[in-house]
Chain A
Amino acid sequence: MASPPAPPSPRLARGPAVAFEGVGKLYGRVKAIDHVSATILPSTFIAIVGSSGSGKSTLLKAVNRLVEPDTGTVRIDGRDVTQHEPHALRRSIGYVFQNVGLFPHMTVAQNIGIGSRIASRKPLATERVEDLLDLVDLPRDFATRLPEQLSGGQQQRVGVARALAGEPGLMLMDEPFGALDPVTRETLGEQYRALHERLGLTTIMVTHDMAEALLFADRIWVMAAGQIVADATPAELIAGGCGPEAEALVAVPRLQAERITAMRAAGTAT
């Protein structure tokens, strides 16, 4: 991706474009991703959905090289990701995943500041930590707490703050809210979508929850057997005609919504 903008104000950050060019990855004889070619426009929120084993996580991790593809190229703003050292590349990309992965032996502030510590050996300034805590809607005095003293939702908020600390333009999220209860998940999803807009980020989020994808993403990629079988806006997906896999996935929340509506109608009728 491009280097962070000169005045380090998150408002000016602009998400980069991301392109997959014939990207393939084999695990033994199984094609985890099968020559995927697709592009993401700058500052877009992409959700990748699909059943387990469809290759969505593998595709996401090819971007920050946690997975090295066997074939093809991933480009960020036109630049091949393999031109960077893996650790240098990852420092410029925000990464949030389901297990959160906060370091249990470090305080919240140290976790948020880890990027600064490993890149420049300097701890992150207190004001900056406080800004980031504000950003993810956590009290400032959480800075001195240890991860084990936080709830699951609070931990993932710290995870998001840690990912944002390096002022990345691109955020990779691998089922970020998957382990949270539905209410927390909804709130965090909403708030993250707002942050995405405000900071002008490019976000790629892997999720198994179609409702989440429909509600927060600009475009949705449906994956099956290592390929993108549908690339559409939420509206287009709901309208139908995007193929059987997409239909099957959309059917679930649609059916739930219809049943809930029906129940409510029945409730008001009596």
Chain B
Amino acid sequence: MNQDWPRILDLLAQHVQLSFAALGLALVIALPLAIWSARNRTVAGVTLGFASLIQTIPALALLALFFPLLLALSAIFGDAISPLGFLPSLLALTLYALLPILRNAVTGLQSVEPAMVEAADGVGMTPLQKLWLVEAPLASPTIMAGVRTAAVWTIGAATLSTTVGQPSLGDLIFAGLQTQNWSLVLAGCLAAAGLAISVDLLLGLIESGIRWRKHLRIWMAGIALALGLGAALWPAPSSDRPVVTIGAKRFSEQYILARLIGRRLEAAGYAVRYREGLGSAVVFRALATDEVQVYVDYAGTIWTNEMQRQDPEPRAEMIAEIARWASDQHGVRLIGPLGFENTYAFAVRPDDAKRLQLRSLDDIVRVAPDFVFGTDVEFLERPEWQMVQAAYPLRFKGRRAFEPTFMYRALSLGEADIISAFSSDGRIAANGFVVLDDPKGAIPAYDAILMVSRSAARDARLVEALKPLVGAIPVEKMREANYRVDRDADKQSPADSAAWLDQALSGSTQGNIR
């Protein structure tokens, strides 16, 4: 596919900045701790124990754990502390890099021969001179080995920072995984691996330079690393056009809509930047803090997750209330609904629907004890599932959670008998799945709504450029666009699908809100 090189280079630069910063900070923290630990057994127990404990937390969880912590801090200290993006990524990666540096440095310092220490004392070195002239140089090969390990880990784990809204090479990987675009996944992985290997080789040169006292080698590798960092820090050729950051969550429809918005804004003369693969909670915070200026959310998501409401309301009132709440609480503006809904749609195979006469969720109550329920990974934890259960007494034979892509496949293969599908997903119609009614109205409305941040709301020209999208996307078009990305054969990139959708929309008439 046609990758845009400027974007990959930009992500690479961000990746380098983040991992170098984390590695640098980890060194600043770990080396003094290592010196202290090498001299004191109790301290060593505490520091190494703590670093090992951190290591047992999966990197993804560590990143996520910083979100509530920093959110609490930002409530105290204000906007200086952002719970998203660079800061949580930096902190998590730094903690992660501590162990290899600390452990190797302690080992290195402790394994300096007693004769060296006696000689250093004997010639009259002060403790600081002994550390600097004897212990540090003798321990440095071991310390550098630890730094190399930490560097490789950090560069690898930095791909995960995408999930908390920090651009990195992980953007490519996560987007590729969601849209099953393996060349994109490969591009992200290769770039991250290439970066890790290059840094490891250069650090290896420094390590061997220290070991064999080849100063030229140390200098050359050091300069190469500095040049790399310098290039990453070099400001990208800034366009004279204003830059708008468009956010997207982690599924195909979001990637496509982000590109569609991007096309419209570019046509209006804006430069755009994408921050994709953000978690549901993350993306709304990013809009509220103006790190993202535009994205599409769903009414029910804001209603249940952000506003903590469980009472379904008619959709017009609901959207009006969300608009009021978003503006009052976060200064965020709701431009309007796009015209389609992406709600949870319970779907079954057509043969089952016919044989068992399944039309609505009421019918499912009857057959549930024989049915396996397939869901996406988060559905069973969401308030919507509570609401559905409150309305329909469903007791399934079993439950299985899948990535969305595999959820549809599981239904057609019989691994699941009913799934919590997404109503705008093209794979429902393509497989002929039957969507069940919700006669009790348990599931809130999930109208796609276009939201802009405080700063974007003040930009009348930007708002004007986006207004034509309001009420313009019928669900059939969205399904078709989604299917172009999600289908197994002849896949399109989200950008290409967005181009198709843009074309299709300009052909159709506007204002057809269902």
Q: Please give the residue numbers on chain A whose beta carbons come within 8 Å of chain B beta carbons, in ascending order.
A: 64, 66, 86-92, 95, 97, 99-105, 114-115, 117-119, 146, 162
- Residue pairs across A and B with CB atoms within 8 Å: the count is 61
Quote the shortest CB–CB distance from A10 to chain B (angstroms).
18
Contacts of A97 in B (CB 8 A): 115, 118-119, 122
Q: Encode B127-151 as 1/0 by CB contact (under 8 A) with A.
A: 0010001100110000000000000
CB–CB B133/A102 < 8 A: no
Q: List 26 A-B contacts (CB under 8 A).
A: A66-B121, A86-B121, A87-B125, A87-B126, A88-B124, A90-B121, A90-B122, A90-B124, A95-B122, A95-B123, A99-B119, A100-B115, A100-B119, A101-B116, A101-B120, A101-B122, A103-B119, A103-B133, A103-B134, A105-B137, A114-B133, A115-B124, A118-B126, A119-B124, A146-B213, A162-B123
Residue of A nearest to B115 (CB): A99
Known: A118-B129, A118-B133. A102 touches B123 (CB 8 A): no
Residue of B nearest to A119 (CB): B124
Q: How far is the CA of A91 from the CA of B126 in the complex (A)?
A: 10
Q: How far is the CA of A114 from the CA of B119 in the complex (A)?
A: 11
Quote the shortest CB–CB distance from A156 to chain B (angstroms).
12
Quote the shortest CB–CB distance from A237 to chain B (angstroms).
29
Quote the shortest CB–CB distance from A224 to chain B (angstroms).
25
Partner of B123, one of A99, A105, A115, A146: A115
CB–CB B118/A66 < 8 A: yes
CB–CB B116/A103 < 8 A: yes
Contacts of A89 in B (CB 8 A): 124
Q: How far is the CA of A87 from the CA of B213 in the complex (A)?
A: 28
Known: A103-B134, A105-B137, A105-B138. A118 touches B124 (CB 8 A): yes
Q: How far is the CA of A66 from the CA of B113 in the complex (A)?
A: 16
Contacts of B120 in A (CB 8 A): 101, 103
CB–CB A91/B123 < 8 A: yes
Q: How far is the CA of A241 from the CA of B125 in the complex (A)?
A: 44
Contacts of A103 in B (CB 8 A): 116, 119-120, 133-134
Contacts of A146 in B (CB 8 A): 213
Known: A66-B118, A103-B134. A90 touches B213 (CB 8 A): no
Residue of A nearest to B118 (CB): A101
Quote the shortest CB–CB distance from A34 to chain B (angstroms).
24
Contacts of B134 in A (CB 8 A): 103
Quote the shortest CB–CB distance from A189 to chain B (angstroms).
20
Partner of B115, one of A101, A119, A162: A101
Size of the chain B interface, CB-CB below 8 angstroms:
18
CB–CB A90/B123 < 8 A: yes
CB–CB B119/A101 < 8 A: yes
4 new A-B contacts, CB < 8 A, other than A87-B125, A91-B124, are A66-B121, A90-B121, A97-B122, A103-B134
Residue of A nearest to B137 (CB): A105
Q: Mark out the residues of chain B between 85 and 130 whose CB falls within 8 Å of any chain A CB in the assembled complex.
A: 113, 115-116, 118-126, 129
Quote the shortest CB–CB distance from A132 to chain B (angstroms).
14
Contacts of A101 in B (CB 8 A): 115-116, 118-120, 122
Contacts of B119 in A (CB 8 A): 97, 99-103
Residue of A nearest to B210 (CB): A105
Q: How far is the CA of A105 from the CA of B125 in the complex (A)?
A: 16
Q: How far is the CA of A114 from the CA of B118 in the complex (A)?
A: 14
Quote the shortest CB–CB distance from A23 to chain B (angstroms).
19
Q: How far is the CA of A119 from the CA of B123 in the complex (A)?
A: 10
Task: List the 4 shortest-distance A-B pairs measured between CB atoms, nearest first.
Answer: A101-B119, A91-B124, A90-B124, A99-B115
Contacts of B124 in A (CB 8 A): 86-92, 115, 118-119
Contacts of B113 in A (CB 8 A): 99
Q: How far is the CA of A35 from the CA of B129 in the complex (A)?
A: 34
Quote the shortest CB–CB distance from A180 to chain B (angstroms).
15
Q: How far is the CA of A66 from the CA of B213 in the complex (A)?
A: 31
CB–CB A114/B138 < 8 A: no
Residue of A nearest to B121 (CB): A66
Residue of B nearest to A159 (CB): B119
Q: How far is the CA of A89 from the CA of B213 in the complex (A)?
A: 32
Contacts of A100 in B (CB 8 A): 115, 119
Contacts of B133 in A (CB 8 A): 103, 114, 117-118
Contacts of A105 in B (CB 8 A): 137-138, 213
Q: How far is the CA of A89 from the CA of B129 in the complex (A)?
A: 15
CB–CB A118/B125 < 8 A: yes
Residue of A nearest to B125 (CB): A118
Contacts of A66 in B (CB 8 A): 118, 121-122
Q: How far is the CA of A91 from the CA of B129 in the complex (A)?
A: 13
Contacts of A162 in B (CB 8 A): 123
Q: Encode B186-228 as 1/0 by CB contact (under 8 A) with A.
A: 0000000000000000000000000001000000000000000
Kindly name the residue among B121, B123, B137 whose own CB sees the greatest number of chain A CB atoms within 10 A: B123
Contacts of B123 in A (CB 8 A): 90-91, 95, 114-115, 118, 162
Q: How far is the CA of A117 from the CA of B137 in the complex (A)?
A: 16
Residue of B nearest to A114 (CB): B123
Kindly name the residue among A91, A99, A101 whose own CB sees the greatest number of chain B CB atoms within 10 A: A101
Kindly name the residue among A86, A87, A102 whose own CB sees the greatest number of chain B CB atoms within 10 A: A87
Quote the shortest CB–CB distance from B417 to chain A (angstroms).
70
Contacts of B118 in A (CB 8 A): 66, 97, 99, 101
Q: How far is the CA of A87 from the CA of B130 in the complex (A)?
A: 11
Contacts of B137 in A (CB 8 A): 105
Q: Mark out the residues of chain B between 252 and 308 whose CB falls within 8 Å of any chain A CB in the assembled complex.
A: none
Known: A105-B137, A118-B129. A64 touches B122 (CB 8 A): yes
Quote the shortest CB–CB distance from A116 to chain B (angstroms).
10
Quote the shortest CB–CB distance from B117 to chain A (angstroms).
9
Residue of A nearest to B211 (CB): A105
Quote the shortest CB–CB distance from A60 to chain B (angstroms).
11
Q: How far is the CA of A7 from the CA of B126 in the complex (A)?
A: 27
Q: How far is the CA of A102 from the CA of B138 in the complex (A)?
A: 12
Contacts of A91 in B (CB 8 A): 123-124
Residue of A nearest to B117 (CB): A101
Q: How far is the CA of A97 from the CA of B118 in the complex (A)?
A: 9
Q: How far is the CA of A45 from the CA of B135 in the complex (A)?
A: 34
Contacts of B115 in A (CB 8 A): 97, 99-101
Contacts of A64 in B (CB 8 A): 122
Contacts of A99 in B (CB 8 A): 113, 115, 118-119
Quote the shortest CB–CB distance from B157 to chain A (angstroms).
34
Contacts of B213 in A (CB 8 A): 105, 146
Q: How far is the CA of A86 from the CA of B138 in the complex (A)?
A: 23
Q: How far is the CA of A89 from the CA of B113 in the complex (A)?
A: 23
Residue of A nearest to B213 (CB): A105
Quote the shortest CB–CB distance from A14 to chain B (angstroms).
21
Quote the shortest CB–CB distance from A158 to chain B (angstroms).
12
Residue of B nearest to A165 (CB): B123
Q: How far is the CA of A53 from the CA of B115 in the complex (A)?
A: 19
Quote the shortest CB–CB distance from A87 to chain B (angstroms).
5
Quote the shortest CB–CB distance from A161 to chain B (angstroms).
12
Quote the shortest CB–CB distance from A69 to chain B (angstroms).
16
Quote the shortest CB–CB distance from B100 to chain A (angstroms).
23
Contacts of A88 in B (CB 8 A): 124
Q: How far is the CA of A41 from the CA of B434 in the complex (A)?
A: 109
